[in-house]
Structure 1
């Protein structure tokens, strides 16, 4: 290894070590895409000892890095065009992280990090959907409540293939996110692959300001019992304090039971869900376990003496991820409270952000979180104790037609139309995809009620209005079988 190469390797390692030490106060822990100021790991002294140990291995690792430095030199000295050192170094960092095959371990340059930090401020502008990289695909974890993504009917596990006609293949997660996001009022067209649907979907959205209000509360009276309902749309910096305020207000009304709704909640800050669980799980039972890279497991406890004097049910679905899964699993295993709904997303890891000293950041998977009993739900999800699906029309897909759907045809799109019509109170006669006379009559009735041209055929305009109407009904939480089951469970 020549002198120049030695200096380059030494520079890289020293910069990383000094950057880590100098930015220790900025280390953050989180369970999805939002950073946290919470501390769940070792003490300052332990971390400094760990960093000192890392510095002692610099010389040993220099030899292992020689191949990387050789590649750097070969490119710099031989490539037909001039290449910036920064570009090559950042490419090497991204490549190392990509080799981990972990969608949650990523590199963010300064510009990306600045945009990323907006997620923990009061609001940001875009379509309002939490996304992840799953098997190389930009995948929606959950749309945010009242966002353009929710209003357009985007769903968990939808895969974004292109943005305004440009493929996102080969982009990392944050490069794709930057294409999707944009100024309020601007439009974006997403090409979507939806599991179980043969045709690609094209969805046009108008970007908007996405408020980060995360806590909503309500009450329902059923069989003489007052049931409190708290919906959590994500776990941000203020979620725990807002939750406690709403909980106190409900308890002042002397509730007989509580529903905690984390459906479609993609997660957020680990300390936020921890602070909420400390209101419920007594000190003799851990509310969570954290496993570090060495396999050491640490249990975490609250300081309260006893659980609440009312029962609790947690609502989950496939869009409930990370911190939401911690909430459901902890209340179930620690207190035997029921979980109602459908199996959740399955994210059981915790990431740590480390500043590189120049405004860029590495977000790397550092821990696994485990349930109170030490179980991992990663890539498996939390299963409900009481499985309950929503009405069929909740699972329908947008109907995009080039030629009108008409009498005597048979098609998957027609099946979708029939399920939507039935959900809206019309009688299509069947829901197997065959366009019969009753389906034609139902289409005519719908067109008349919506002041459309009454043809009995499902043209592009009819399909668009049908989709908009069904989404609006879903957003109004009509026919919420899962919530009804949760309330029924608490009142029995």
Structure 2
């Protein structure tokens, strides 16, 4: 199978799978987090399951410990006062859920969350074979629903949703004040249904409105390709997330490319929001020798557990790892381990920065608390939380990969000066037209470039950017961004491989 064309450019049509950083709305897994519902947990999301659930005895001790705490007498008193005297009808289960959510909120940890029965069901689906939604990993960052990464091939990716996009409205309703899971539930929906997201994007002067058609999001996580550079054959394995079958898919993919007598390997985790620790663990154990740990896990008491592989020798070919700002959680574990313990280069841009691990604690009625219990450290003991993993070889994509969707409400013309003009100038330059400048001022050279573009594409040659011209520019830029020949980061990874 071939690696699907990567669309990193932000220009496309949106479709979010809300989950990973939360769940798969994206990251609860809007990646780093989760899939549509686990988003709050961003990359941590699926990491939650990585270390396994607490034993039944530990769960019971946890719950009984709460009941025996005299500090909880005030909670019991408040519960009784509200239940017996509130003018507003008090639902017992809602009072209990509110108390739990309130306790978790005081931790100020976006990855520690309460999941009711329905949310837990959706979370389980997000690590299964498929689910329905927009296909993006999301997380809660500074109290805003934030995209960690769109899922490969999803409506979110094709729409051009990007890491760090902040969703502020769903179908015209604000999500301010909602927890990640509630926001994800609004974004998620049945295949074929529409959802309109209002998105704030760093660098954009105005919020973007994007209409998405929800779809069935298959969780196929591993793609392979063979590339030849200077007569040498390199295998490429792309991992889009770490779900329950990823390590087995990877093992099969590795055997497949190795059977082609490759002389080097590129592991691509760009846009990978994370997932299950167990799967990244099983992948690393195929590359990192037993001389040092590939990851260190530290609990709240400072006790550290070191994870080692059993292999004695490294692969007999060079390896590079590709990452970007959408690589989070388990992806960062892989990048850091391959660099610090394996001595391999990491190519691309700085990763997302999620260095905590959550564990699920069932509450006995189908609901669950996902609680941050650990931090993970790199083999050299570094904590990358909110810092990210720095690449050893920094490479950014062409500027037009990072442009925004064009939304023309008023025709852009000579002497206009704004972010929209800047955006279009960068696109024109990427398409081979020289706008004279890319700072947002619509000068005469920009007008000439626009007129030349219009002439080449059978548009009304006005030198001004109307809706038709804007849509055509955007359409062509999307094609350029999807063209593997324009992937500077992959080119550099292959170059570094055989240096």
TM over 0.5: yes
Select the residue among 168, 175, 178 that pairs with 1:171. 178
1:37-71 CA deviation, whole Å, 9 max, x = no partner? Answer: 654699x6xx84x568657856751x200111122
Distance 1:433 1:36, change over 3 A: closer
Distance 1:56 1:181, change over 3 A: closer
2:149 maps to 1:142:
yes
The answer (yes or no) to whether the contact 1:223–1:491 under 8 Å persists in 2 is no
The answer (yes or no) to whether the contact 2:47–2:274 under 8 Å persists in 1 is no
Provide the secondary structure at the position in 2 that maps to 1:335: coil
Provide the secondary structure at the position in 2 that maps to 1:202: strand
Distance 1:100 1:451, change over 3 A: farther
Select the residue among 278, 286, 309 that pairs with 1:279. 286
Provide the secondary structure at the position in 1 that maps to 2:95: helix
Deviates more, 1:200-209 or 1:338-347: 200-209
Aligned to 1:400: 407
C-alpha separation between the residues in 1 aligned to 2:42 and 2:463? 52
Select the residue among 153, 157, 164 that pairs with 1:157. 164
C-alpha separation between the residues in 2 aligned to 1:491 and 1:407? 48
C-alpha separation between the residues in 2 aligned to 1:456 and 1:169? 41
1:319-377 CA deviation, whole Å, 9 max, x = no partner? Answer: 00000000000010002111111110000111101111111111111111111111111
Deviates more, 1:160-169 or 1:248-257: 248-257
Deviates more, 1:149-158 or 1:438-447: 438-447
C-alpha separation between the residues in 2 aligned to 1:428 and 1:195? 23
Residue 457 of structure 1, CA deviation: 1.5
The answer (yes or no) to whether the contact 1:128–1:144 under 8 Å persists in 2 is yes
2:236 maps to 1:229:
yes
Select the residue among 396, 400, 403 that pairs with 1:389. 396
Aligned to 2:19: none
The answer (yes or no) to whether the contact 1:151–1:472 under 8 Å persists in 2 is no
Aligned to 2:27: none
Distance 1:337 1:216, change over 3 A: same
The answer (yes or no) to whether the contact 2:128–2:243 under 8 Å persists in 1 is no
1:361-403 CA deviation, whole Å, 9 max, x = no partner? Answer: 1111111111111111111100011111111111112232321
Residue 451 of structure 1, CA deviation: 4.6
Aligned to 1:378: 385
Q: Give every structure 1 segment of 4 or more consecutive aligned residues whose post-TM-superposition deviation is greater than 6 Å.
A: none
**5+ residue gaps, structure 2:** 1-40
2:143 maps to 1:131:
no
**5+ residue gaps, structure 1:** 1-28
Distance 1:366 1:390, change over 3 A: same
Distance 1:57 1:80, change over 3 A: closer
Distance 1:445 1:371, change over 3 A: same
Select the residue among 245, 252, 266 that pairs with 2:252. 245
Residue 434 of structure 1, CA deviation: 2.4
Distance 1:382 1:79, change over 3 A: same
Aligned to 1:438: 445
Aligned counterparts, 1:15-54, within 5 A? 32-34=44-46, 38-39=50-51, 48=57
Provide the secondary structure at the position in 1 that maps to 2:376: strand
1:147-177 CA deviation, whole Å, 9 max, x = no partner? Answer: 1111111110000000010000111101100
The answer (yes or no) to whether the contact 1:404–1:460 under 8 Å persists in 2 is yes
Provide the secondary structure at the position in 2 that maps to 1:353: strand
Q: Which structure: greater helix fraction?
A: 1
Aligned to 2:116: 109
Provide the secondary structure at the position in 2 that maps to 1:131: strand
Aligned counterparts, 1:319-358, within 5 A? 319-358=326-365
Residue 468 of structure 1, CA deviation: 3.4
C-alpha separation between the residues in 1 aligned to 2:133 and 2:272? 18
2:213 maps to 1:206:
yes
Residue 449 of structure 1, CA deviation: 4.6
Distance 1:205 1:53, change over 3 A: closer
Aligned counterparts, 1:81-100, within 5 A? 81-100=88-107
Select the residue among 241, 258, 265 that pairs with 1:258. 265
Provide the secondary structure at the position in 1 that maps to 2:81: helix
C-alpha separation between the residues in 2 aligned to 1:461 and 1:128? 29
Residue 107 of structure 1, CA deviation: 0.5
C-alpha separation between the residues in 2 aligned to 1:260 and 1:369? 21
Residue 297 of structure 1, CA deviation: 0.4
Aligned to 1:486: 493
- RMSD over aligned CA atoms reads 2.1
1:420-453 CA deviation, whole Å, 9 max, x = no partner? Answer: 0111222323222222333223323433455544
The answer (yes or no) to whether the contact 1:97–1:106 under 8 Å persists in 2 is yes
The answer (yes or no) to whether the contact 2:42–2:138 under 8 Å persists in 1 is no
Aligned to 1:268: 275
C-alpha separation between the residues in 2 aligned to 1:54 and 1:431? 58
Query: How many residues of Structure 1 are paired with residues of Structure 2 in the alignment?
Result: 459
Provide the secondary structure at the position in 1 that maps to 2:241: coil
C-alpha separation between the residues in 1 aligned to 2:233 and 2:479? 28
The answer (yes or no) to whether the contact 1:285–1:334 under 8 Å persists in 2 is yes
Larger radius of gyration: 1
Deviates more, 1:335-344 or 1:464-473: 464-473
